[in-house]
Amino acid sequence: LVAERGGYVGGSQAGTLDDRASLTVRIPADRFDTALARLHELDAEVIAEATREEEVTTQVVDLAARIENLRASEASYRELLARAEKIEDILAVQSRLDGVRGEIEQLRAQLEALEDRAALSTLTVTLVPRPEPITQQAETWDPGAQLDRALASLVEIGQRLLDGAIWFVVVWLPILLTLATTGLLLLRGVLEVRRRLPSSTDRTAA
C-alpha cells in the first residue's frame, strides 16, 4: 500500500498483549489523501491517527542563501589564490578555500534532506482488528421452564406465609393474650370498686 504510492515505512511497533499495531510511514504529499483513504478500507479499525506536516520552507530558503554566500566566498578565494605569489599566502588561501568547500558540501547535504522531508508527509496510525459481530439467539418459549419457575414462586410464597404464621403463634399471640388478660382484670377491678362505693343519692339521704 505504501510502496505503491512511492512511500516507505519509517517505523512499526506491534503490541505484545493485543493485536494492535502502530506504523509510521512517509508518503508523497500529493498521494497522502488516497493513502489515508486506503488505510480506512483495510479490515482493521483506525483508532488513532496523526499527521505531521514538515515545516521546512524557511530552513530550505536559509540554507540556500548560506550556500550562495559561501560560493561567493569560494570565488573570492580562488581569485586570491590565482594572484598569490608567496608560499605562505598560497597555503593560507588554499586552507580557507578547502574550509569553504567543506561547508558548502555539508549544507548541500542538509538541503537535500530537507527537500526530501518537504516532498513527503508523515503519517502515524494505530490499527486494531475489527471486532467480530456478536449475534444473539432469540429466546424460545419453554413451558417446562415456566412451570418450574411458577412452582418455585408458589413454594416461596407458601414458605413466607408459614413463617409469618409461626411468628404470630410463637411471638405475637402470647403478647396479645397477656395484654387482653391484663385489660380484663383492670376493667373488672374498676367495676368492683365502683360497685362498692355508695351512690350520690345515698349520701344525700344520709
**Per-residue 3-state assignment (H helix, E strand, C coil) for the chain:** CCHHHCCEEEEEEECCCCCCEEEEEEEEHHHHHHHHHHHHCCCEEEEEEEEECCCCHHHHHHHHHHHHHHHHHHHHHHHHHHHCCCHHHHHHHHHHHHHHHHHHHHHHHHHHHHHHHHHEEEEEEEEEECCCCCCCCCCCCCHHHHHHHHHHHHHHHHHHHHHHHHHHHHHHHHHHHHHHHHHHHHHHHHHHHHHHCCCHHHHHHC
The answer to whether residues 42 and 65 belong to one domain is no
**What was the pLDDT predicted at 203?**
53
- Do 70 and 32 fall into the same domain? no
Residue 40 shares a structural domain with residue 75: no
Does residue 74 sit in the same domain as residue 109? yes
Q: Is residue 123 part of a domain?
A: no
Mean pLDDT across 173-197 = 87
Q: Give the cell for residue 160.
A: 413466607
Residue 18's pLDDT is 61
Where is the domain boundary, 65, 99, 118?
118
pLDDT digits (tens, 9 = 90+) for 126-161: 777 666 666 665 567 788 888 888 888 888 998 989
In total, how many domains does the chain have? 3
User: Is residue 206, in this structure, part of any structural domain at all?
Assistant: no
Assess whether pLDDT exceeds 60 at residue 53: no
The answer to whether residue 128 is domain-embedded is: no
Residue ranges making up the domain that contains 175:
147-195
Decide if 127 is inside a domain.
no
